[in-house]
Amino acid sequence: VGEVAISDHRGSQPSMDALAKVVSEARVGGMLTKKAGVTHFHLGDGKNGLQPLFDLLDHTDLTIASMVPTHVERNQRLLEHGKEWVRRGGHVNFSSTPDNQVPAILEYQKEGLDLANVSISSDGYGSLNVF
């Protein structure tokens, strides 16, 4: 499933129960079809950062492998949350923006984080809006 917007004023502000249901359904669907069953989360500049995903990990039996947060290099708070996500064994995705991605990768590398858990995507320039 992807991308579900969290911590973003443009998103639908889903509850933890709604997020858990989406992730669970994707995971079970993946198991039944022998596919990844991953939910991708679009992260905005909102104050909660990855906290909704940490809450899912801490309060449900969902696995970190079932969730991939994207746009983690967007701001320093997200970058820090992303580091914790990777430390817990999760994968994060950076958008392919040279201004942010290179310093972010170097920061993760400097801290000894497993860069195999970091992917970079173009996001297809799906939105060039300024808010």
- Cα separations in angstroms, 90 against 36, 81, 84, 94, 130: 14, 11, 9, 13, 30
Among candidate residues 8, 17, 61, 123, the one labeled active-site is 123
pLDDT (tens digit, 9 = 90+) per residue, 17-56? 999 999 999 999 999 999 999 999 999 999 999 999 999 9
Q: Which residues, 6+ apart, have CB-to-CB distance to 79 below 8 Å?
A: 72, 73, 104, 107
pLDDT (tens digit, 9 = 90+) per residue, 36-47? 999 999 999 999
pLDDT (tens digit, 9 = 90+) per residue, 88-124? 999 999 987 767 788 899 999 999 999 999 999 876 6
CATH of the domain spanning 10-124, picked from 1.10.3720.10, 3.20.20.140, 1.10.579.10, 2.40.50.140: 3.20.20.140
Whole-structure pTM value: 0.88
Selection from 114, 111, 109 nearest residue 90 by Cα: 114
Instruction: Check if 123 is active-site.
Output: yes
pLDDT (tens digit, 9 = 90+) per residue, 54-85? 999 999 999 999 999 999 999 999 999 999 99
